[in-house]
Chains A and B, each alone.
Chain A
């Protein structure tokens, strides 16, 4: 369960007081709002990144653990951005291997070998019928393929929750709809609570919670 309590986002001349958020596993919250309302700032604060030009306060609790004192790498929240930022020097399969946790063990209870990690990554790609891009580099992928691989990579890391910053905004409308539906179903199946920032009100799945930050804005 992913909870955010007493959250306040201080932006220029104003403050957004969010109601307490509670997401069960597999649930999705979509945050919308006009530009400059602090949507991305809020996501970066959740991630544990340094927030510039704004102040955010509140309590972040994931599976009964308070995340506030932890740094980015300790929080283990997945991140998916508009530009997926697949690493250009690594092939698709190695991008996913990069995300696989180190604690994974094989049947002999030993750490996975390089070959086994690659096999696991390939299986993940095959699960979504994308095994054919395993040995491709980023520049060889289409926009839709990049988004799908980006999500596979984010999930390969076994994140406790996923943060998405307009992840499908760069795709054309048809691809965006296809990829987003696929992504939401993946997140539901894997039971990962997720928060997505979007400016597209048409792209909110019916089962998702929705929050418009403008509704909670008050000027100072």
Chain B
């Protein structure tokens, strides 16, 4: 009887984790399965779209190069910091830095460095001049997108390298390299980079899939004519006519084709990079990239400062700063909380929605992750990571489109329950990324000792494994919470405008020209993850647990 109950529980567990982990693939398949027959007219309508080729090419360029740029910068930063005595302290700063939403970074850069940006115009204001438009960061351009995504993804790659680096004898490789007469930096590139590059394929794919279908920052800082492919596709997906819906199916197919091209790009780049470095290793020729690495010695400091500057800029804007006034006289600025007071009435509902949805989806996501890990441990076999991480490896726009079709087909209502469910695959994937390491590396002998004291399986799990994992669970919760707060596409498409969050409202307001009000929403959106990390850190310090996210 006990065996039957156990088997039933295990089957139910596998059903739940398969459902959550498999939702992204389900969405993609539905999104590629048109309910009506696609005619050649639809295909020609798709290809006749004005500026399609240019839109696809600029999207491919952005999706390929922004993550690669971030990967290279991430490696240069990692190689500079890894054996720095302060590395462990710096490592702890990575997760909160990573949590700053992409949208906040992208708009923050514009608010700081565009011709009317706080920093840029203040600099020119010192000399009594107006910042020339052409010298500032363009409000909407591929360069702005490239800069925002590559800067934002660096902490992600640092976190990945940090986790991978713990399992590699990097110190000994470098020692060997140096003993053979190579400089430390050359040893990093020739000996460590090829290995880390191969092991970072999934991370690179996740960053590329994100760049490929990101909608919120494409709408706000992406180029206008032509728009990035995500914007074009979204317009078709939300179109009312049958033709537009048919074209959207073809668009989804093309999005998957673009993802395949990016996967090929990852392998091609890896082949090129490893072959080039091997040629240098064999011929013992000098590497030109070595001196560049030193430019990134202070990157973490720079990024922390940039994060702070972005938050301060949003705050200053929300308190009445206006770039037109700074030129005339800074004393003319009328600092006040009136905007906050006026907006407070409107911000309450989306704020409560954001908190409620993020909290629920984060808790369910983390618990599902724990279930997935425990079921695999029971099976004594861990499935490949890509199976669990599909939500971040596949283009979001196509998968959510599939969910939307299914949601409409079953006449699901427009309430926060569905939005929570649409956030769940993402909170699950990020929790899995964070928890997998600590869960797998937890010393099994703790549970053996407990078993020797007569504790049964469930007692061992809750009293030992769960308790030891509490700090890592809190970190996973904070990351999952941040991921949910920043979700735009699922909230917009499944909530259908009836369920609004801080992020959807921020994008809606930012598409207008209300920079001061946008700043309020951006500040709230950026601060929420920091509060989550602060809470997680405070509670973590009060807990006695031997494993945290840094293990």
CA distance A76 to B182 in the complex (A): 10
Q: Report B159-188 residues with CB < 8 Å from chain A CB.
A: 169, 172-173, 175-176, 178-184
Q: Is the CB of B181 within 8 A of A98?
A: no
If the complex has contacts A81-B172, A85-B172, A102-B284, are A157 and B278 also in contact, measured as CB distance less than 8 A?
A: no
For residue A150, which residue of chain B has the nearest CB? B176
Q: Which residue of B lies closest to A89 (CB)?
A: B194
The answer to whether residues A79 and B181 also contact, given A89-B194, A89-B274, A117-B282 and a CB cut-off of 8 A, is no
Check B181 against A157 for contact (C-beta < 8 Å).
yes
Residue of A nearest to B195 (CB): A89
A72-B179, A88-B195, A157-B181 known; A83 and B283 CB under 8 Å? no
Interface contact B178-A73, CB-CB below 8 Å: yes
Task: Say what secondary structure dominates the interface of chain B.
Answer: helix
A97-B282 contact in complex given A73-B181, A89-B198, A89-B274, C-beta closer than 8 Å: yes
**Are A98 and B178 in contact, with the CB atoms below 8 A?**
no
User: B190 and A98: CB pair below 8 A?
Assistant: yes
**Bound CA–CA A49/B274 (angstroms):** 28
Chain B residues proximal to chain A, CB less than 8 Å? 169, 172-173, 175-176, 178-184, 190-191, 194-195, 198, 274, 278-279, 281-285
Please, which residues of chain B bring their CB within 8 A of the CB of A83? 169, 172
How many contacts between A and B, using CB within 8 angstroms? 71
Q: Please indicate the chain A residues that have their CB under 8 angstroms from the CB of B283 in the complex.
A: 97, 113-114, 117
The verdict on A94 contacting B282 (CB below 8 Å), with A83-B169, A89-B198 known, is yes
Mask, A40-73, CB within 8 Å of B = 1, is 0000000101000000000000000000000111
| Separation of A99 and B281 alpha carbons in the complex (Å) | 9
Q: Are B179 and A78 in contact (CB-based, < 8 A)? A: yes
B285 contacts which chain A residues (CB < 8 A)?
A: 102
Distance of A159 Cα from B178 Cα, bound (Å): 12
Interchain CA distance A83-B279 in the complex, whole Å: 25
Give a binary string over A89-114; 1 marks a CB under 8 Å from any B CB, 0 the rest.
Answer: 11000100111111000000000011
Chain B residues, Cβ within 8 Å of A94: 278, 281-282
Kindly state whether residue A87 has any CB partner on chain B within 8 Å.
Answer: yes
A114 touches B282 (CB 8 A): yes
- Neighbouring B residues of A79 by C-beta, 8 Å: 175-176, 179
Q: Which residues of B contact A98 (CB under 8 A)?
A: 180, 190, 281-282, 284
- 4 tightest A-B CB contacts, nearest first: A72-B178, A79-B179, A97-B282, A102-B284
Residues of chain A lying within 8 A (CB to CB) of residue B182: 73
- Can you sample 16 A-B contacts with CB below 8 Å? A47-B179, A72-B179, A73-B178, A73-B181, A76-B179, A79-B176, A85-B169, A85-B173, A85-B176, A94-B281, A97-B284, A98-B190, A100-B284, A101-B181, A102-B285, A118-B282
Indicate if A77 sits at the interface (CB-CB under 8 A).
yes
Residues of the A chain whose Cβ atoms lie less than 8 Å from the Cβ of B198? 89
Q: How far is the CB of A147 from chain B (nearest CB, A)?
A: 14
What 12 new A-B contacts, CB under 8 Å, besides A87-B191, A117-B284?
A: A73-B179, A77-B179, A78-B180, A79-B176, A89-B194, A89-B274, A97-B281, A97-B283, A99-B180, A101-B284, A114-B282, A118-B282
* Residues in B neighbouring A102, C-beta threshold 8 A: 284-285
Q: Shortest beta-carbon distance, A157 to chain B, in Å?
A: 5
